[in-house]
Structure 1
Amino acid sequence: MLLYKLWRSFVKEILLLKRDIGGIVIIFVMPLLLIVTITLIQDSTFKNLEGSKIPIIFIDNDKSEVSKNIKQELETSKTFQLLTNYNEKSAQEAVFSGDYQMAIVIPENLTKDLNSNIDSKVQTIVSSFGLEGDTTAAKKSAPKAKEIHLYFDPATNAGFKNSVMNSVNKMVFEIENKKIYKAFQDQLGTTENLDENKNLISFKEITPKKGEMDVMPNSVQHNVPAWTLFAIFFIVVPLSINLVKEKSQGTSVRARISPTPYFVHILGKTFTYLIICIIQFLLMVAVGIYLFPYMDLPAFDVSGKMFQLIVVTLFSGLAAIGFGVLLGTIADTQEQSAPFGATSVVVLAAIGGIWVPVFLMPEFMQTVAKFSPMNWGLNAYYDIILRNSGIGGIAKELAFLLAFYIAMVTISIFYERKQNAV
């Protein structure tokens, strides 16, 4: 008998959704448009950074060894296109007006003064060891340190500025080291090959591998789970609206006076919207697997992970349904439930890392993000997709999502009983 009542509640929810075309569009069509649009934008951005060069102004007032080395390094970096038909004043105006992102100005006599500075220091060091050297040259005052001027567009990202300055510093540091080494060779009369003076310590990035291939995160692996979660939580809007409709049309009154317990009414909604969540997830995965490759995007790889991903989807769906039930129970009108539901989902997405990665947020917001159910679901998806975790590795996130659902439904049931107590 209880199963029959649950079935009838399920059928009632399906009929309500069939009459709500706008809700169907929100649930299925909008997330698909979002995932395609956002992924295309982000992937195009990555490809632009990788495939095309950023035009920057390069002014060489030195026209000698050091400036030529810097210019060669910039040209071979495959990142910059050097524009040289400027003087420092016109370059400053062009950059500060936003025409170009940056300009590099190499000062006059940079190579000459650097050589003199290094020779002076090497002479001093050699003389201090009692070795032969030109003591007269050692006593000469070293030239004043030179400055390479870097002009940046005020709207340029701080990360780009730091990256360029670090790259220039590294280039200058390597040039100085080679010149110092060469100066010591000349003073000490050694004949060791300069090219053999390589770094003793280097960095090697170790990444997860699938067979012989490196497993690297891409825009698709980030966007499919992120916008799937956004779609799942957006069922809060039609779910809460339907609950409000039931109150305004008297359906909830008939449900209360019927012998069917109220929790069966809630379970009917839960099963209905869980099926919707699974359909949303499968549609998103289908787009990632079959449509994205035709749009010159990486395919979404779910091999060996489908079961775990569906489990996360079910628990994330439970959390979204619980929130929608609470909102629909508390709200008195559709004008209250619809905008508040949409806004709250956007806020949960923002603090949960759907739009901006959590590690880029301020420390306070990183703490707040830990309380967002979207963040729990996103971490579970990422653990499976990017870290190859099993169900055991995401047990904590699943427990949080289930506890959130139970808490929301429990509060809703108590609130409903209190409001209708005689």
Structure 2
Amino acid sequence: MMYKFLMSVYKEMLLLKRDFGGLVILFVMPLVLIVTITLIQDSTFKSVTESRIPILLVDNDNGAISKTVKENLEESGSFEIVTKIDGILINEAVAKEAVFKGKYQLAIVIPAKLSSDLQLKVNQNVERIVGNLGMGEATTVPEKTAKIASKEVRLYFDPATQLAFKNAVKSAIDKMISQIETKSIYTAFQDQLGEGDEAIFEQESFIVFKEMMPKVNDKEVLPNSVQHNVPAWALFAIFFIVVPLSINIVKEKGQGTQIRLITNPVPYAVIIAGKTATYLIICMIQFFLMVAVGVYLFPYLGLPVLDVEGKLFLMSVVALFSGLAAIGFGILLGTIAKTQEQSAPFGATSVVILAAVGGVWVPVFAMPKIMQHISQISPMNWGLNAFYDVLLRNGNLLEILPEINLLLLFFIGTITLAIGYDKKKRAV
């Protein structure tokens, strides 16, 4: 039986050796994908100081508020303030046209008299409050004050700009204006109470937010594009073996190779074991190639290095069981499919769907609720969560055991279905 198993493995190796195109798909394509996607996505993981977005600023106020807004935008490190185009000071019409044509992502238009009208409005409100409390002179509260209309800080976005970017900018500017208004109110109260230059109100924020990062050896672990992309695209590469694996099984059925093996006799379980062992070796080679790219190649491309110190063993375990799940799916597909025209397109499409649903392209938390529930049945999602537990959450073997068990059960289930279907088909 062992001899038959080894010969089955040898046969699979010969088939792969003769299929140069299949080897290119299995090894070269995933490497190109992981380098390309990581380079594209790396900017979203870098600190904002490394990527400044040019935005147009139309200052019709020329007061304290517009000055503060400009300073805060520059200090954020996220934006490069542009007030002139071709050496000419821009107005709202020019800014609007430039943004709507896609030349800039954002334009901020600060209305005229914003600083003076805000100060006047705050003074009116403070005088009214102080007068009602009986702390000021009656003359300080006029019977009728002029109504000051609210001001609009207009934002123009490129129509192609993502909603997340719009919301983030609007939230940041709203927070900035609120802080300016609050400071103006404190200052007005101080003036009304006659305390001069001596500060009587603490204007620093009482409630602040601080992101707490996981630490290893008292050093914060900051997630980066490499930690997200290497496991994700390694999984994609591993599951893409479904295509050549299912095609080879269909070829064997069409060429009569499977019938000759069975009449030797060689049990179908031994054939499956040979395929499993062969393609599991392929999966692990793919995985280690991906890791090698992350560790050795990415630093030369200006990308963060993949830190696998103390994590490579657990990552290998996840890759091993992910490979089993992919092999089980490929064998089931090849057993059921009658032609290569059925197995190849369905295999490729199903892998892409599993990747999309599993969170390889879009994070699961960003999906609609129904898709978040559907993602739980994708074996790629189980493998990806296990990789993230090891790389980003410093998990141990016990913590990734649930995902490992799901991948193993998926392999057992698909292999059982494949053997059962083959027996039923041959019995007929």
Give the TM-score, by structure 2 length.
0.94
* Residue aligning to 2:182: 177
Confirm whether residue 106 of structure 1 aligns to residue 110 of structure 2. yes
CA distance in 1 between partners of 2:170 and 2:4 (Å): 69
* Residue aligning to 2:377: 371
CA contact (8 A) 1:152 1:161 kept: yes
Report deviation, 1:118.
0.6
Correspondence for 1:319 among 320, 325, 334: 325
Deviates further, 262-271 or 67-76:
67-76
Could you give the per-residue CA deviations for residues 292-326 of structure 1, whole angstroms, max 9, x where no partner exists?
Answer: 11111111111111111111111101100000001
Letter in 2 for 1:248: G
Report deviation, 1:291.
1.0
* Residue aligning to 2:194: 189
Letter in 1 for 2:7: R
* Residue aligning to 2:420: 414
* Residue aligning to 2:11: 12
Could you give the per-residue CA deviations for residues 135-166 of structure 1, whole angstroms, max 9, x where no partner exists?
Answer: 44474134111111111121111111111111
* Residue aligning to 1:255: 261
Secondary structure of 1:407 counterpart: helix
* Residue aligning to 2:86: none
* Residue aligning to 1:42: 41
Secondary structure of 2:310 counterpart: coil
What is the correspondence of 1:287-366 to structure 2 with a 5 Å cutoff? 287-366=293-372
Confirm whether residue 390 of structure 1 aligns to residue 396 of structure 2. yes
Correspondence for 2:148 among 136, 140, 143: 143
Report deviation, 1:386.
0.5
Correspondence for 1:218 among 217, 224, 228: 224
Cα pair distance change 1:151/1:325, threshold 3 Å: same
CA distance in 1 between partners of 2:156 and 2:116 (Å): 24
Question: Where does structure 2 lack aligned partners over 5 or more consecutive residues?
Answer: 84-88
CA contact (8 A) 2:30 2:237 kept: yes
* Residue aligning to 2:279: 273
CA contact (8 A) 1:96 1:154 kept: yes
Report deviation, 1:59.
1.3
Cα RMSD for the two superposed structures = 1.7
What is the correspondence of 1:86-97 to structure 2 with a 5 Å cutoff? 86-97=90-101
* Residue aligning to 1:31: 30
Deviates further, 67-76 or 269-278:
67-76
Report deviation, 1:235.
0.7
Could you give the per-residue CA deviations for residues 265-312 of structure 1, whole angstroms, max 9, x where no partner exists?
Answer: 111111111111111111111111111111111111111111111111
CA distance in 2 between partners of 1:364 and 1:50 (Å): 37
CA contact (8 A) 1:182 1:194 kept: no
CA distance in 1 between partners of 2:43 and 2:274 (Å): 43
The count of aligned residue pairs is: 421
Cα pair distance change 1:109/1:164, threshold 3 Å: same
Secondary structure of 1:253 counterpart: helix
CA distance in 1 between partners of 2:235 and 2:242 (Å): 12
Report deviation, 1:63.
1.2
CA distance in 2 between partners of 1:18 and 1:138 (Å): 94
Secondary structure of 2:427 counterpart: coil
* Residue aligning to 2:128: 124
Cα pair distance change 1:371/1:234, threshold 3 Å: same
Correspondence for 2:410 among 404, 409, 412: 404
Report deviation, 1:210.
2.4
CA distance in 1 between partners of 2:176 and 2:43 (Å): 30
Report deviation, 1:239.
0.7
Correspondence for 1:284 among 284, 290, 301: 290
Letter in 2 for 1:249: Q
* Residue aligning to 2:68: 69
CA distance in 1 between partners of 2:74 and 2:288 (Å): 46
Report deviation, 1:51.
2.1
CA distance in 2 between partners of 1:110 and 1:142 (Å): 15
CA contact (8 A) 2:186 2:201 kept: no
- Give structure 1 regions of 4+ aligned residues with deviation exceeding 3 angstroms: 44-50, 133-139
Secondary structure of 1:151 counterpart: strand
CA distance in 2 between partners of 1:140 and 1:206 (Å): 49
CA distance in 2 between partners of 1:360 and 1:92 (Å): 31
